[in-house]
């Protein structure tokens, strides 16, 4: 859990310091957590009579696909939540605060980092 927290905190600090990094921290955050999810403890292999593991490739493919889906669904959730909040503010008839409007990258990256930390820490 500490490693996941350190990864999330590092990329959130990067975006806080740079203020305009063109989503580079979010991209690296996604790669870091795909790596963290993909290299979870593997399932014990099932060997055939010849001593081969027939399902290894399929299991690795499933693990990679699951890792990608988990990471990008967390990022999509954060991005859609941000957009939903902005749309709700406009629908109510208010104006969008300048802080929300100018800090989309910061808010989406921080929200993604928090959701990925929770997912990576409690998924295993």
- Residues 103-120 have pLDDT tens digits of 888 899 899 999 999 988
Phi, psi for 120 (deg, rounded to 5): -70, -35
The maximal CA–CA distance of the chain, rounded, in angstroms, is 70
Distance CA 98, CA 65 (A): 38
Domain contains 91: yes
Domain contains 44: no
Range of the domain at 112: 2-39+56-123
Domain contains 47: no
Higher pLDDT, 22 or 77: 77
Distance CA 3, CA 5 (A): 5
* pLDDT > 90? residue 27: no
Of 21, 7, 10, 4, the C-alpha closest to 105 is: 21
Domain contains 48: no
Tokens of 30: 């996604």
Q: How does residue 71 score in pLDDT terms, banded at 50, 70 and 90?
A: very high
pLDDT at 47: 65
Domain contains 109: yes
* pLDDT > 80? residue 95: yes
Distance CA 44, CA 9 (A): 33
Number of domains in the chain: 1
Tokens of 94: 């208010």
Domain contains 113: yes
Domain contains 84: yes
pLDDT at 3: 86
CB 28 within 8 A of CB 11: yes
Q: Count the neighbouring beta carbons within 10 Å of the beta carbon of residue 32.
A: 20
pTM of the model: 0.78
- Residue range 4-18: mean pLDDT, rounded: 87
Domain contains 68: yes
């Amino acid at each position: 859990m500490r490693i996941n927290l350190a990864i999330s905190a590092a990329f959130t600090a990067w975006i806080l310091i740079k203020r305009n990094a063109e989503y580079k921290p979010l991209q690296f955050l996604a790669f870091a957590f795909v790596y963290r999810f993909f290299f979870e403890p593997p399932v014990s292999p099932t060997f055939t009579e010849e001593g081969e593991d027939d399902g290894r490739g399929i299991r690795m493919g499933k693990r990679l696909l699951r890792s990608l889906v988990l990471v990008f669904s967390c990022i999509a959730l954060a991005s859609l939540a941000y957009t939903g909040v902005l749309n709700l503010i406009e629908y109510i008839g208010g104006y969008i605060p300048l802080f929300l409007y100018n800090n989309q990258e910061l808010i989406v990256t921080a929200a993604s980092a928090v959701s990925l930390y929770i997912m990576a820490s409690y998924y295993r």
